[in-house]
């Protein structure tokens, strides 16, 4: 997998004049020198060196709580040889031409930026050293750096980075592919726990999030959408609404979910959001929704059962002859599993503020994927993408919801309809639940065969999901490399599709959060039939350490085995026993194995402790943040599994209104402890916002079975 941002010598050096000569490292870094006591040059780039020898580093990726706003600057600061107390961090705007990819999703920040950001810091350091060498008339190899200064040990001389900025600008840019990087043994920042830069402001309740945006002269917009997804506006009467004092306009727009030329969203714009929200009650709308009201939860269940009774529509993966192997198997195990649609349920509802002025659009938005939002908004507003300026705000949760940019698209059109007025679009909680991009539901029919020695020799899975034109809709895919398919000699992975009107999207650990439950829970059934526990079945099927090619990334059986062994050792696993369950999963380049300990009192299940072992490569960049990411992932996974998170659809519409209909984890349900161990291995560092989540769901399900004797094959789990 090669998705790293690539910087080369040609793009490294860019001529730039802003209040003097400055060194610009394109898509990476700007060094700006300022005279003592003067304000620093403020440039649209990664780094500026301030007059007091502090260094401001721009964090390019959207901050969603995953800690990237600190992690990426740590990489640059390490290779620049700064002391962490010298570092100041600012969120950059969205500008992929300048900064490269700016996405919060797929746990990609670390693999994409691990080398490029370090190379940027090292390249800047090399140019500063070269400038100092010329000033002193010595060889650059005789110089060292520390704490934002260049040192000449032989003479005892030193120069701060602030004093060298202008001279460094005259130096030739180094080849980033060849620039010397630090020996990890000499890291002073990477590998050390650093507090989130926004934490003090969050604790104080200071404005940081998109919902906090305030712009002079701002007006407010509430949204009104067809209850049935995909319905469009046939007509509306806004006379009563416009008669309300403070109401400014009613605007029909396209959210991007329906064909161009149609509108599916009405915006009531007023001088306060409360007025706009209340005015919706008087808006008379006729919806064109006849084609989308026939979808419901009951219909999906009926359609899935009918598809199971038919021949699968398509084959995803086939190896050997599964039917022949099953006919000869000593034991055959069969089970059906399913899981529901899920909402993202972020605490901060979707929002965006936009101002259209002089043919340009300025946007303040909490988006996980602002580049895509730029393209979509520009298209529906009839603008060039270069006409948009996007300011990134912190997000109050997203979990994949804010990879979709309907709120930006809507706000852009509203602002263009009201030039000169900043328009803030805000969904209320019901809007957010009923117009999400949901994790798709799915149904699985499994069959497995064991030989006389208890080895897994055959696996079949008929997967029923949602699709169109013979292809899955967004986020409804199943990988052909779902474990244990790559290591079983006879496999049939088949699929059948049915229709839905719902908008679907990626939910944290997309696909994996569902597939882990069905595959690892079924594997626990197979292990029991073989007379062993799940970890031992995993070890036997994994076989010798080796790398197995996949659709996009390879799967390493040795790394999988290592985390399984580690968590079993840490948890004192002694085979199948009451009160304990095990789960493993590989996703987003990370290998995680987890054990869940539970207790049952008066028929109520209480989670006591989660044990976790993970392998995300050779370096944990920010240990405290990594710990919190892993623990948070486990808590979120448990929430999906155990507390009734399930959406109901009737007449094409989702019925949930608030958290009473879709509960989040409460503190009294959280395990008393989540023990995490990271195995450091000789592989490039990868992300961990997602891979720690999937295994906890089957581990809990398997623990409930081990304790109560009741096998749960449907989410959410029945906890009593």
What average pLDDT does the segment 606-635 reach?
97
User: How confident is the model over 278-323, as pLDDT tens digits?
Assistant: 999 999 999 999 999 999 999 999 999 999 999 999 999 999 999 9
Confidence band for 26, pLDDT divided at 50, 70 and 90: very low
DSSP label at residue 504: B
pLDDT for 7 equals: 44
What average pLDDT does the segment 600-608 reach?
89
HEC secondary structure over 618-674: CCCCCHHHHHHHHHHHHHHHHHHHHCCCCCCEECCEECCCCCCCCCCCCHHHCCCEE
How far apart (Å, rounded) are the C-alpha atoms in residues 180 and 75? 14
pLDDT for 690 equals: 96
Check the CA dihedral 227-233-239-244 and report its sign: positive
User: How confident is the model over 178-235, as pLDDT tens digits?
Assistant: 999 999 999 999 999 999 999 999 999 999 999 999 999 999 999 999 999 999 999 9
When the pLDDT of each residue in the chain is averaged and rounded to a whole number, the result is 92
pLDDT for 720 equals: 53
pLDDT for 12 equals: 38
User: How confident is the model over 514-541, as pLDDT tens digits?
Assistant: 999 999 999 999 999 999 999 999 999 9
Q: Which residues contact 273 (CB under 8 A, 6 or more apart)?
A: 220, 221, 222, 424, 426
How far apart (Å, rounded) are the C-alpha atoms in residues 589 and 55? 33
pLDDT for 88 equals: 96
Q: Is 60 left (phi over 0), alpha (psi -120 to 50) or beta?
A: alpha
Concatenate the DSSP letters of all residues of 440-481 into one string.
PPEEEEEEEEE-TTS-EEEEEEEEEEEEETTEE-TT----TT
How far apart (Å, rounded) are the C-alpha atoms in residues 175 and 181? 12
Q: Do domains 9-199 and 210-290+350-426 have the same CATH topology?
A: yes
What average pLDDT does the segment 42-58 reach?
76
Residue 122 three-state SS: helix
Query: Regarding the domain delimited by 210-290+350-426, which CATH topology (the fold level of the hierarchy) does it fall under?
Result: Aldehyde Oxidoreductase; domain 4 (3.30.365)
What average pLDDT does the segment 487-511 reach?
98
- Do 134 and 710 contact (CB within 8 A), yes or no? no
* Alpha carbon 613 to its chain's center: 21
Residue 484, preceding peptide bond in cis (omega within 30° of 0): yes
Measured over all CA atoms, what is the biggest interatomic distance in the chain, rounded to whole angstroms? Answer: 84
Among residues 215, 253, 251, the alpha carbon closest in space to that of 355 is found at 215
How far apart (Å, rounded) are the C-alpha atoms in residues 410 and 424? 10
pLDDT > 80? residue 33: no
pLDDT for 100 equals: 87
pLDDT for 43 equals: 25
How far apart (Å, rounded) are the C-alpha atoms in residues 461 and 336? 9
pLDDT for 416 equals: 98
User: How confident is the model over 232-274, as pLDDT tens digits?
Assistant: 999 999 999 999 999 999 999 999 999 999 999 999 999 999 9
How far apart (Å, rounded) are the C-alpha atoms in residues 348 and 683? 36
What average pLDDT does the segment 367-395 reach?
98
pLDDT > 80? residue 35: no
pLDDT for 45 equals: 64
Domain with residues 9-199, CATH architecture = 2-Layer Sandwich (3.30)
Verdict on whether the full-model pTM lies above 0.75: yes
How far apart (Å, rounded) are the C-alpha atoms in residues 654 and 363? 30
Structural domain spans, the chain: 9-199, 210-290+350-426, 297-341+438-708
Confidence band for 50, pLDDT divided at 50, 70 and 90: confident
pLDDT for 234 equals: 98
User: How confident is the model over 403-455, as pLDDT tens digits?
Assistant: 999 999 999 999 999 999 999 999 999 999 999 999 999 999 999 999 999 99
What average pLDDT does the segment 635-655 reach?
94
Report in angstroms the alpha-carbon separations of 710 from 160, 527, 599, 705: 67, 16, 15, 5
pLDDT for 21 equals: 27
Report in angstroms the alpha-carbon separations of 272 from 69, 220, 249, 278, 688: 32, 6, 12, 10, 40
297-341+438-708 — its CATH code? 3.30.365.10
Helix segments in 5-160, DSSP class H? 9-12, 68-80, 96-99, 109-136
b/e map of 94-127 (b: 16 or more CB within 10 Å)?
A: bbbebbbbbbbbbbbbbbbbbbbbbbbbbbbbbb
Residue 714 three-state SS: strand
Confidence band for 25, pLDDT divided at 50, 70 and 90: very low
Percentage of residues of the chain with pLDDT beyond 70: 93
pLDDT for 38 equals: 38
């Amino acid at each position: 997998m090669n998705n790293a941002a690539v910087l080369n010598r040609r793009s490294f050096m860019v001529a730039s004049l802003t209040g003097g000569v400055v060194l610009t490292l394109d898509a990476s870094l700007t060094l700006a020198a300022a005279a003592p006591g003067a304000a620093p040059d403020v440039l649209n780039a990664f780094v500026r060196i301030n007059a007091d020898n502090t260094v401001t580093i721009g964090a390019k990726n959207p901050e969603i709580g995953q800690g990237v706003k600190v992690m990426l600057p740590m990489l640059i600061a390490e290779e620049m040889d700064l002391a962490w107390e010298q570092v100041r961090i600012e969120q950059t705007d969205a500008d992929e031409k300048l900064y490269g990819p700016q996405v919060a999703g797929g746990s990609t920040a670390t693999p994409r930026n691990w080398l490029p950001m370090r190379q940027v810091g090292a390249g800047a350091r090399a140019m500063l050293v070269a400038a100092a060498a010329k000033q002193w008339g010595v060889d650059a190899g005789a110089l060292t750096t520390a704490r934002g200064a260049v040192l000449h040990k032989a003479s005892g001389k030193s120069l701060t980075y602030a004093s060298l900025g202008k001279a460094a600008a005259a130096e030739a840019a180094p080849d980033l592919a060849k620039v010397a990087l630090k020996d990890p043994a000499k890291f002073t920042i990477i590998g050390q726990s650093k507090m989130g830069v926004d934490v003090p402001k969050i604790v104080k309740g200071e404005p940081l999030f998109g919902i906090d945006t305030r712009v002079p002269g701002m007006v407010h917009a509430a949204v009104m959408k067809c209850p049935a997804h995909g319905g469009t506006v046939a007509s509306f009467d806004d006379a009563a609404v416009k008669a309300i004092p403070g109401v400014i306009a009613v605007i029909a727009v396209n959210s991007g979910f329906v064909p161009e030329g149609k509108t599916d969203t009405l915006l009531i714009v007023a001088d306060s959001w409360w007025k706009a929200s209340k005015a919706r009650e008087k808006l008379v709308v006729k919806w064109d929704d006849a084609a989308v009201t026939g979808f419901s939860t009951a219909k999906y269940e009926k359609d899935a059962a009918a598809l199971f009774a038919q021949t699968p529509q398509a084959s995803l993966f086939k190896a050997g002859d599964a039917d022949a192997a099953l006919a000869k198997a000593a034991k055959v195990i069969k089970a059906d599993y399913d899981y529901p649609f899920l909402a993202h349920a972020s605490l901060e509802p979707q929002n965006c503020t936009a101002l259209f002025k002089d043919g340009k659009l300025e946007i303040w938005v909490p988006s996980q994927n602002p580049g895509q939002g730029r393209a979509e908004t520009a298209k529906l507003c009839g603008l060039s993408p270069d006409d948009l300026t996007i300011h990134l705000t912190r997000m109050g949760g997203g979990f994949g919801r804010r990879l979709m940019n309907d709120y930006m698209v809507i706000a852009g059109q509203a602002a263009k309809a009201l030039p000169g007025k900043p328009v803030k679009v805000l969904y209320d909680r019901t809007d957010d639940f009923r117009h999400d991009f949901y994790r798709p539901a799915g149904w699985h029919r499994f069959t497995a065969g064991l030989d006389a020695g208890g080895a897994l020799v055959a696996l079949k899975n008929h997967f029923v999901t949602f699709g169109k034109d013979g292809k899955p809709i967004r986020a409804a895919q199943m990988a052909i490399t779902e474990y244990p398919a790559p290591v079983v000699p006879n496999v049939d992975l088949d699929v059948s599709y049915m229709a839905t009107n719902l908008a679907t999207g990626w939910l944290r650990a997309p696909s994996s959060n569902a597939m882990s439950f069905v595959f690892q829970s079924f594997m626990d059934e197979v292990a029991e039939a073989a007379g062993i526990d799940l970890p031992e079945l995993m070890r036997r099927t994994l076989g010798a350490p080796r790398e197995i090619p996949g659709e996009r990334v390879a799967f390493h059986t040795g790394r999988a085995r290592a985390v399984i062994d580690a968590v079993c050792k840490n948890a004192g696993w002694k085979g199948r026993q009451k009160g304990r369950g095990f789960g493993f999963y590989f996703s987003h380049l990370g290998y995680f194995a987890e054990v869940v300990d539970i207790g049952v009192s008066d028929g109520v299940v209480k989670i006591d402790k989660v044990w976790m072992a993970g392998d995300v490569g050779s370096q944990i960049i920010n240990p405290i943040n990594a710990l919190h990411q892993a623990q948070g992932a486990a808590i979120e996974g448990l929430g999906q599994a155990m507390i009734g998170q399930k959406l109901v659809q009737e007449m094409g519409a989702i019925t949930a209104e608030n958290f009473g209909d879709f509960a989040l984890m409460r503190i009294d349900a959280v395990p008393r402890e989540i023990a995490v161990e990271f195995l450091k291995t000789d592989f490039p560092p990868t992300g961990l916002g997602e891979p720690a989540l999937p295994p906890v769901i089957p581990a809990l399900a398997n623990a409930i079975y081990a304790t109560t004797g009741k096998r749960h094959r449907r989410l959410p789990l029945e906890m009593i």
